[in-house]
């Protein structure tokens, strides 16, 4: 009969079992705890994946509430945008026409902010909603800034309405009865000398050398340039009418004013000529508002007859004479 060899551990006496190293017993205990923790984590993950836990339910509810709040905020901003559009419409088509002034132009005010400003929001789960909301708010902030500046300007105009009425460049700068051929209009055109498409910043009023050129509104002579060059504006006068308006009179044959001189509407400031880059005698006339060139034709009464123009000029000369006598 064959006798089995006894198991080493079972064959060990109780005293030897109790003498197992302390670290080995600790290792076995830690291993059991880790296995239990891993098992519980797997069960919890599977449960969370297939079933809502109270924590997940709370997070999802908060996310839904956040999305609803964003949509409510967007609706309110759209309503405010419609009100601001109405204010801008009244500003441009009601209030400003009362003062005969152009809409306020602020360079770059319509330019959106760069996308880099919204880059930190792209990591959020609701990034598209958050970015669109912020862009809407930034657009409103720019529009609000523009309306605020426009209101400040209108307040200034209302306080000085009497001065404004004579400062606005509202007359023809030459006698219409002396006007030859057609007016070269404001805007893009092919330059008659350079044969390139350039932006014409004013209107060209053809006439004869020596025809009188008048100030179109009360102003101060900001600068003159009497260089008789073959290029550019040639002899020119720049008037500052205040209230954001300036006018330029170029290609003159003679300048009759000096820098810093106060000018009244209808006053003779120079004579029409052909100095600078021209193909024939004419007056290049510009109207500048808030640093931006605007179409001078908008300030002319195109239906005015030569007789009506002469009558207005006679009244202007009489008013100017009274001012000088005072």
Q: Going by DSSP bridges, is the β-strand pair 282-289/262-263 parallel, antiparallel, or unpaired?
A: unpaired
* pLDDT tens sequence for the chain (326 residues): 454 555 555 555 555 555 557 777 787 888 888 888 887 888 777 766 666 667 777 777 888 888 888 888 888 888 888 888 888 888 887 677 767 677 887 888 888 888 888 888 888 888 888 888 888 899 889 988 988 888 888 887 777 777 887 888 888 899 888 888 778 888 887 766 667 788 889 999 999 999 999 999 999 999 999 876 667 899 999 999 988 899 999 999 999 999 999 999 989 999 999 998 888 899 999 999 888 898 888 787 555 566 666 666 565 556 545 544 44
- The pTM for the full model equals 0.54
* Cα–Cα distance, 4 to 275 (Å, whole number): 128
Q: Which residues pair with 239 in a beta bridge?
A: 221, 247
Looking at residue 304, what DSSP letter applies?
-
The residues, any chain, with a CB within 8 Å of residue 225's CB and separated by 6 or more, are 233, 234, 235, 236
* Cα–Cα distance, 138 to 145 (Å, whole number): 11
Residue-level pLDDT at 312? 60
Q: Is 255 exposed, middle or buried (0-12, 13-18, 19+ CB in 10 A)?
A: buried
Return the residue matching tokens 């005072």: 326
Q: Which residues pair with 204 in a beta bridge?
A: 184, 284
Contact (Cβ atoms closer than 8 angstroms) between residue 273 and residue 254: yes
- Tokens representing 178 are 């002396």
The residues, any chain, with a CB within 8 Å of residue 244's CB and separated by 6 or more, are 101, 153, 289, 290
The closest alpha carbon to 167, from 270, 273, 266, belongs to: 266
- Tokens representing 81 are 């945008």
* Cα–Cα distance, 23 to 14 (Å, whole number): 19
The closest alpha carbon to 205, from 130, 128, 302, 110, belongs to: 302
Neighbours of 147 (CB within 10 A): 15
- Tokens representing 155 are 């307040």
The closest alpha carbon to 245, from 276, 281, 290, belongs to: 290
Residue-level pLDDT at 282? 94
Contact (Cβ atoms closer than 8 angstroms) between residue 66 and residue 130: no
Q: What is the DSSP string of 58-89?
A: HHHHHHHHHHHHHHHHHHHHHHHHHHHHHHHH
């Amino acid at each position: 009969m064959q006798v089995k060899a006894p198991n080493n551990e079972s064959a060990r006496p109780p005293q030897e079992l109790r003498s197992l190293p302390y670290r080995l017993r600790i290792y076995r205990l830690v291993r059991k705890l880790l296995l239990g923790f891993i098992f519980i984590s797997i069960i919890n993950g599977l449960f969370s994946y297939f079933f809502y836990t109270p924590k997940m339910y709370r997070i999802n509810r908060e996310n839904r509430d956040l999305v609803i709040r964003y949509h409510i905020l967007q609706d309110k901003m759209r309503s405010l945008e419609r009100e601001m559009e109405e204010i801008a419409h009244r500003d441009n088509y009601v209030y400003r026409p009362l003062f005969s002034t152009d809409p306020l132009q602020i360079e770059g005010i319509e330019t959106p902010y760069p996308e880099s400003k919204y880059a930190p929001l792209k990591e959020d789960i609701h990034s598209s909603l958050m970015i669109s909301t912020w862009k809407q708010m930034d657009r409103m902030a720019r529009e609000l800034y523009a309306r605020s500046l426009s209101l400040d300007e209108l307040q200034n105009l209302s306080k000085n309405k009497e001065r404004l009425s004579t400062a606005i460049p509202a007359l023809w700068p030459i006698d219409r009865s002396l006007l030859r051929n057609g007016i070269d209009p404001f805007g893009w055109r092919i330059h008659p000398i350079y044969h390139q498409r350039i932006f014409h910043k004013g209107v060209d009023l053809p006439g004869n050398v020596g025809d009188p050129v008048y100030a179109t509104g009360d102003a101060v002579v900001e600068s003159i340039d009497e260089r008789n060059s073959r290029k550019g504006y040639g002899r020119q006068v720049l008037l500052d009418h205040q209230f954001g308006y300036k006018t330029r009179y170029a290609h003159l044959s003679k300048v009759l004013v000096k820098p810093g001189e106060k000018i009244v509407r209808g006053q003779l400031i120079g004579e029409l000529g052909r100095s600078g880059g021209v193909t024939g005698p004419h007056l290049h006339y510009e109207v500048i508002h808030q640093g931006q060139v605007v179409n001078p034709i908008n300030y002319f009464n195109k239906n005015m007859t030569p007789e009506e123009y002469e009558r207005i000029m006679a009244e202007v000369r009489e008013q100017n004479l009274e001012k000088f006598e005072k």
